[in-house]
Amino acid sequence: MKKILVLNGPNLNMLGKREPEIYGAATLDEINNSLKQKAGSMGLMLDFCQSNHEGDLLDRIQKLDGEYDGAVLNAGAFTHTSIALRDAVLATSVPVVEVHLSDPAARERYRRRSYLSGAAKGVVSGFGARSYELALYWFAVS
C-alpha cells in the first residue's frame, strides 16, 4: 500500500468559512475525512498536515524521502511566492502533485504564477475538493 502525505498550506484551515463561493463549503476536516474513506479502495494510506508556516511545510517536504511514496501539496498562497518550497520539491525524490481547489489561471493576475508547477509531477486545479481525489487517483494508478 502506497503511503501519501496530503500537505496543506496557509489559510486552508479556514475552508468552509473563507470565501465559500470560491473554495466551497466543505471544511478541511471534511475533505480529509472524505479522502481517507476513498484512499483504502485506491490502495493508498494517507497522512495529513496543515500549516500556516512556510518553514513547517519545508520541513515536511524535506522528510518525504524514505517515509512516503508521494505527496499531494496545496501550498495555498505560498504557491505564488515561495521559491523555497519549489526548491524543496525539486530536492525530494518523492513525486509531488500540486493541487488547488479553484483554478488559479482564472483568478487574479498574481495567482496565475506558480513557483511549484515546474517542480511538481503534475497539477490538478479547479475541481474543488475533487482536485485532491484526482491527485490521489494518479498515485493509485502510477
* Residues labelled catalytic: 23, 100
Q: Is residue 133 helix, strand or coil? A: helix
H/E stretch holding 65 reads none
- Integer Cα distance of 88 and 8 in angstroms: 15
The span from the first CA to the last CA of the chain, in angstroms, equals 12
How many residues make up the chain in this entry? 142
Cα atoms found within 13 Å of the Cα of residue 108, Cβ hemisphere only: 5
Distance of CA 30 to the CA centre of its chain: 15
In the chain, count of helices (H) and strands (E)? Answer: 5, 5
Rg (CA), the chain: 14
